[in-house]
């Protein structure tokens, strides 16, 4: 059974930016705050050579594969609260 957010609930999200070598643009997406630690661990594994590809799933369910050898930098933004519902 699913659950729904009610008026006044907050969702914490983190902005993530990944720079890719030989590309002028960076990848920018949002993940839920509780996924930050897992993503950070997977980035560490990719940068250390433990895995060849970093797979990232954003909050909308889109998946992106990034070759580990092409990662130039990874930036995690600060968590910010976003109110869900009407009013405020």
pLDDT tens, residue by residue, 37-69: 899 999 999 999 999 999 998 878 889 999 999
Contact 7, 78 (CB under 8 A): no
Report yes or no on whether pTM surpasses 0.85: no
Q: What structural domains does the chain harbor?
A: 11-80 (2.30.30)
Range from 59-63, 72-76, 82-86 that averages highest in pLDDT: 72-76
Angle subtended at Cα 29 by Cα 27 and Cα 34, rounded to the nearest 5 degrees: 130
CA 12 from centre of chain: 12
């Amino acid at each position: 059974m699913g659950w729904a957010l009610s008026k006044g609930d907050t969702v914490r999200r983190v902005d993530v930016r990944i720079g890719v070598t030989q590309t002028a643009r960076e990848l920018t997406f949002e993940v839920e705050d509780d996924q930050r630690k897992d993503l950070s661990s997977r980035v560490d594994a990719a940068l250390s050579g433990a895995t060849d590809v970093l797979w990232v799933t954003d909050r909308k369910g889109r998946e992106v594969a990034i070759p580990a050898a092409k990662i130039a930098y990874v930036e995690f933004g600060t968590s910010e609260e976003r109110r869900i519902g009407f009013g405020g």
